[in-house]
Amino acid sequence: MRFGFFLSVLAHVAIVMAAVVTLPSMFDGAEEFQMLPVEILEIGSETNVRAAALKIAEAPEPEPVKEEEPKFAEAPPPPPPPAMNEPVADDAMPALAKASDPKPKPKKAEKTSVKNTMPRRKPKPPAPQSKDELDLGELQALLDKAPKDEPKPQPQQSDDALDSLDDFLAEDQADLPRRAIGLGDGLTISEVDALRQEMQKCWRPPTGAANPEELIVELRIFLKEDGSLVRAPRIERSGTSTFGKNSFTMAAEEAARRAVVMCAPYDFLPADKYERWKEVTVTFDPASMVGY
Amino acid sequence: MRMLRLSKIAGLAVGALLLAACSGYNGTSSVASDSYADPSGPVAGSQEDLEANVGDRIYFAFDRYDLNDAAQATLRRQGAWMKMHPSVTVLVAGNCDERGTREYNLALGARRANSAKDFLTSLGVDPARVSTISYGKERPTCMGSNEECWALNRNDITSVTGGPAS
Amino acid sequence: MRISAPARAEEPLHIVIDQGKVEPLPIALPGFIGKSQAERDTGTNIAKVISDDLERSGLFRALDPRSFIERSMDFDTLPRFNDWRIINTEALVTGQAVIQDDGRLRVEFRLWDVVRNQQLRGKKYYTTPENWRRIAHLVSDEIYTRLTGETGYFDTRVVFVQESGSKIARRKRLAIMDQDGANVSFLTDGFDMALTPRFSPTAQEVTYLSYFNNKPRVYLLNIESGQQEVVGDFPGMTFAPRFSPDGGKIIMSLDTRGNSDIYVMDLRNRRQTRLTEHPAIDTAPSYAPDSRAISFESDRSGRQQLYVMRSDGTDIRRISWGEGRYATPVWSPRGDLIAFTKMLRGRFYIGVMRPDGDPKTERLLTESFLDEGPTWAPNGRVLMFFRQTPNRRDGSGGTVRLWSVDLTGYNLREVPTLGDASDPAWSPLIK
């Protein structure tokens, strides 16, 4: 007991001493804090990549690289010059400085990329354009258990839309026979609605953006008779921002294009009205999807 | 110097609290408190004297800093006691409950401490003898999250920082 | 719900999509490849950190690696897009880690759009091997920015108050960590109470309140050197500090004889300027990102409410008009919103509103026994704050922890800390 008491006293003294000793050194208790530098280089786009063991058919359709483009793309720009895709290599680059550098330096890249471990390749000749999309279409068809030639059931939504559009229909009925058959005839509201429903299932709109109204994207899509895409959707209109293209508009464009591609084929559209839907413009408007 | 000494006392308190977790602390604790038990009562003008015979704290209503009757009565006793011990200096610490935001409570605690100081000054106590500090909601005396504790934590606590007993 | 059927046959069919799915984007992140075991370990760790970053943002869903079909991947080979589409991912990240002959770590990644079969982003990074975590965050930032358009915020830090000890004798010391809770280190020893730290715009300095010598004053602390100094020469308690957007000034409250007003101190010429002069409590000032305006809280109306004034202290306007008390206004780095703490009928909320004070724009994002002190991620998209749970009668049971929530109110998550933590302040983007 006595020994324990002695120990206890000793411990108390030690702690009090520790407390007193730490007093004057209040501010030097901080642990070493160091920021470590990181160097960053751009890696070129797909032109750098060996398409080893891949059929030519699977080569990606060269999408326009829009990253560094200063202006809106009114129509799909031509495939970029190879330099655009080259690594922006600058070996003595200071830490992180390059990360935010938006300007590609094609010439420098040409030189320095020689020591790049990745073999440089010329851009592949554009693969037969529709082939890839065809593959995708087939894949979608495989995944899709719905019978090919029947419209997918969209009963509730379509009916709702129809109800709410009774007036519209009543007005139009005189000169637009709804279920008429034949070339040149319009699609019924429910057919249009089915297409809309399908696309919005695939669209992941940009949410939380500061100015969603600037992220409206309009695409033109070209469809084959089986409902698959003839080629990649074309951007008709993108962004109303006066500041030009930025990361937000770019992400919005890609989200829209992904939605269209992902949802293909649109095999529920009535084959007899193909002329009416072989070309469709789609406006993706995220304004009502944002928290505000 | 006084401040530094106070910090040291705080350091001791922290040390003691750390030890509170040790087993076997109870025995030492009783030894320590025994040494305070002085049959002749606390030294006049000391912190113990203030706590035992005058009252060292006053309480406030939620989000208020005005002095109710009980608070004024306590402060009158403190004023008289300070006149009785003219070398005593005190620190009035304003505290708040946890039901407010941190920065606002720092300001509110300062208001509460200042209410007491103004009152003591109005009784004729030299303002130089009364310093103030706000701890906001950082120094609760009652730990539970309930109305009783919150009422106890909305206070001014007066402590002796200098005088005959120090 | 707009539908426009074609009026004439020549015009293409036009449809408007204004509804979409609000679900996280599925992304596949196989471990970064490497030749040696050390490289593979680093690669696996990097992929895990990226995956955690993206998941925590709430905007991505990292797919279970066990579902991956394509396994052995060469970094310089095109992925087999079909193999990835079939597991329903929309994006794929491939990467490799190489420890070079010079001992440095090289990390490369490519971000693929597997719906449209194209590379969206590719970069390589060089650093020291122990710095792999930072690279992972940089890669997360790239992916996040490329797919959402938002500026990334993963390569950032959080300074906060680490709390320990009993509820009565609380020990509060400054600590700093990566935004995901890793790499914690302490900035003060905890002997003096430290509160309300805030970063400078360079993330090199922190201003905070210290009770050094039992005198509450605003201090300026250099994170790397550990040096610090008291800010200004004020007669009373200074508190609630915050940097100006250019880092040249610190704005704070000064208490003189029970009255708190807002002052600004120019760090270059040490000049102190008083901005508010009112018998009410004026505190919690925060600059607008353009420095032209300052938001603060005041109880001049009788209870805590939010106000905005010009940065010279003129043109004070009240902006909070809802029920209850409002506190701790913090201007978004984007400038479009002010985050705040709201107290109503015994509950605490974190919310946001527009700086123009339109009551319709107020949105409450969280609610609990005590939510307090929002801080913005540098992209203005995510908020962090602290949440305290009630103590039992004996003081046990209560915790105080850091939480984050998306601006939309979704994705409320606890930020991992060692024990209790409060007063978080998010760093700006680290340059």
Cβ contact (<8 Å) for A289 and C109? no
Same structural domain for residues B30 and B47? no
Same structural domain for residues A184 and A278? yes
pLDDT above 70 (res C187): yes
Cβ contact (<8 Å) for C20 and A33? no
Smallest CA–CA distance from C195 into chain B, residue: B102
Decide which of A98, A127, A156 is a domain's last residue.
Answer: A127
- In A, residues 19-58, which contact B (CB 8 Å cutoff)? 19-20, 22-23
pLDDT at A189: 82
Of A23-37, A162-176, B43-57, C88-102, which range is least confident? Answer: A162-176
pTM of the complete model beyond 0.80: no
pLDDT above 60 (res C287): yes
Q: Which residues in chain C have their CB less than 8 angstroms from residue B133's CB? A: 214-216, 237
Average pLDDT over residues B76-96: 96
Q: Which of A39, A189, A201 sits opposite C127 (nearest CB)?
A: A39
* CA angle (C60 as vertex; C59, C65 as ends), nearest 5: 170
Same structural domain for residues B87 and B10? no
Of A183-197, C23-37, C152-166, which range is least confident? Answer: A183-197
Count of domains for chain A: 2
The count of residues in chain C is 431
Of A149, A234, A161, which Cα lies nearest the Cα of A197? Answer: A161
Decide which of A72, A101, A127 is a domain's last residue.
Answer: A127
A15 within some domain = no
pLDDT at A68: 32
The winner for highest mean pLDDT among A117-126, B103-112, C82-91, C184-193 is B103-112
A275 within some domain = yes
Count of domains for chain B: 2
Distances A13 to A7, A153, B6, B16, C70 between C-alpha atoms, Å: 10, 82, 18, 10, 65
Cβ contact (<8 Å) for B133 and C259? no
Same structural domain for residues B138 and B59? yes
Pairing of strands C228-230, C217-222: antiparallel
The SS3 of residue A140 is helix
Instruction: Point out the residues of chain A with pLDDT beneath 70.
Output: 1-39, 42-185, 207-210, 240-244, 289-292
Decide which of A84, A110, A127 is a domain's last residue.
Answer: A127
**Which residue reads 């990549």 in tokens?**
A49
pLDDT at B47: 93
pLDDT tens for residues A56-93?
A: 333 333 333 333 333 333 333 333 333 333 333 333 22
Same structural domain for residues B66 and B124? yes
CATH number for B109: 3.30.1330.60
pLDDT above 80 (res C40): yes
pLDDT above 50 (res C84): yes
Confidence of residue C167 (pLDDT cuts 50, 70, 90): confident
Q: Supply the ipTM of this predicted assembly.
A: 0.92
pLDDT at C409: 87
Same structural domain for residues B154 and B76? yes
pLDDT at A264: 85
Calpha distance A282→C17 (Å, rounded): 7
Q: How many CB pairs under 8 A join A and C?
A: 267
Average pLDDT over residues C390-409: 90
Cβ contact (<8 Å) for B98 and C216? no
pLDDT above 70 (res B63): yes
The pair of three-digit structure tokens given for residue C405, joined into one six-digit string: 């929530």
For chain B, give the secondary structure using H, E and C.
CHHHHHHHHHHHHHHHHHHHCCCCHHHHHHHHHHHHCCCCCCCCCCHHHHHHHHCCEEECCCCCCCCCHHHHHHHHHHHHHHHHCCCCEEEEEEECCCCCCHHHHHHHHHHHHHHHHHHHHHCCCCHHHEEEEEEECCCCCCCCCCHHHHHHHCEEEEEEEECCCC
Cβ contact (<8 Å) for C13 and A187? yes
Calpha distance C140→B8 (Å, rounded): 48
Q: What is the topology classification, in CATH, of domain C25-148?
A: Rossmann fold (3.40.50)
pLDDT at A11: 57
Q: What is the DSSP letter of C397?
A: S
A158 within some domain = yes
Confidence of residue C242 (pLDDT cuts 50, 70, 90): very high
Same structural domain for residues A139 and A267? yes
Packing angle of the helix pair A2-22, B25-36 (nearest 10 deg)? 70
What percent of chain C has a predicted confidence (pLDDT) above 90?
81
Cβ contact (<8 Å) for C283 and B104? yes
Q: Are A285 and A247 in contact (CB under 8 A)?
A: no
* Higher per-residue pLDDT: B162 or A19: B162
The winner for highest mean pLDDT among A185-199, A240-254, C195-209, C387-401 is C195-209
The count of residues in chain A is 292
Q: Are C143 and C155 in contact (CB under 8 A)?
A: no
Q: Are C25 and C60 in contact (CB under 8 A)?
A: yes
C150 touches chain A (CB under 8 A): yes
> Which domain does B13 fall in, by range?
1-37
What is the residue extent of each domain of chain C?
Answer: 25-148, 157-426
Same structural domain for residues B81 and B118? yes
Q: How many CB pairs under 8 A join A and B?
A: 34
Same structural domain for residues B110 and B73? yes
**Which residue reads 């610190």 in tokens?**
C250
User: What is the domain class of C157-426 according to CATH?
Assistant: mainly beta
Tell me the backbone φ, ψ of residue A73, rounded to 5 degrees. Answer: -95, 115
Amino acid (1-letter code) at residue B13 = A
Same structural domain for residues B121 and B146? yes
Q: Are C218 and C207 in contact (CB under 8 A)?
A: yes
Q: How many Cβ atoms from other residues are within 10 Å of residue B87's Cβ?
A: 12
pLDDT tens for residues C2-20?
A: 444 444 445 778 889 888 8
A32 to chain B, closest Cα gap in Å: 25
pLDDT tens for residues A177-225?
A: 333 333 346 778 888 888 888 888 888 887 666 677 778 899 999 999 9
Same structural domain for residues A47 and A153? no
pLDDT above 50 (res C121): yes
Q: Report the number of secondary-structure helices (H) and strands (E) in chain A.
A: 9, 4
Q: Are C155 and C144 in contact (CB under 8 A)?
A: no
- In C, residues 65-84, which contact A (CB 8 Å cutoff)? 74, 76-78, 80-82
Largest separation between any pair of C-alpha atoms in chain C: 84
The SS3 of residue A18 is helix
β-pair partners for C123? A42, C109
Calpha distance B113→B92 (Å, rounded): 6
A55 within some domain = yes
B159 to chain A, closest Cα gap in Å: 22
The count of residues in chain B is 166
pLDDT at A177: 37
> Which domain does A76 fall in, by range?
38-127
Report CA Rg, chain B.
17
Largest separation between any pair of C-alpha atoms in chain A: 109
Q: Are B56 and B158 in contact (CB under 8 A)?
A: yes
pLDDT at B130: 97
Calpha distance C249→C275 (Å, rounded): 13
Calpha distance A136→A140 (Å, rounded): 6
Smallest CA–CA distance from A11 into chain B, residue: B19
Of A148-157, C39-48, C60-69, which range is least confident? Answer: A148-157
pLDDT at A7: 56
Cis peptide before A286 (omega within 30 of 0): no
Packing angle of the helix pair A247-263, A129-143 (nearest 10 deg)? 60
Report DSSP letters for C267-306, one per residue: TTT--EEE----SS-EEEEEE-TTSSEEEEEE-TTSS-EE
Same structural domain for residues A182 and A221? yes
Same structural domain for residues B22 and B93? no
Calpha distance B152→A243 (Å, rounded): 58
Distance of CA C34 to the CA centre of its chain: 33
Same structural domain for residues A78 and A169? no
Burial tier of A7 (Cβ tally within 10 Å: 0-12, 13-18, 19+): exposed
Q: Are A290 and A208 in contact (CB under 8 A)?
A: yes
Tell me the backbone φ, ψ of residue C392, rounded to 5 degrees. Answer: -75, 175
Q: Which of C191, C213, C390 sits opposite B4 (nearest CB)?
A: C213
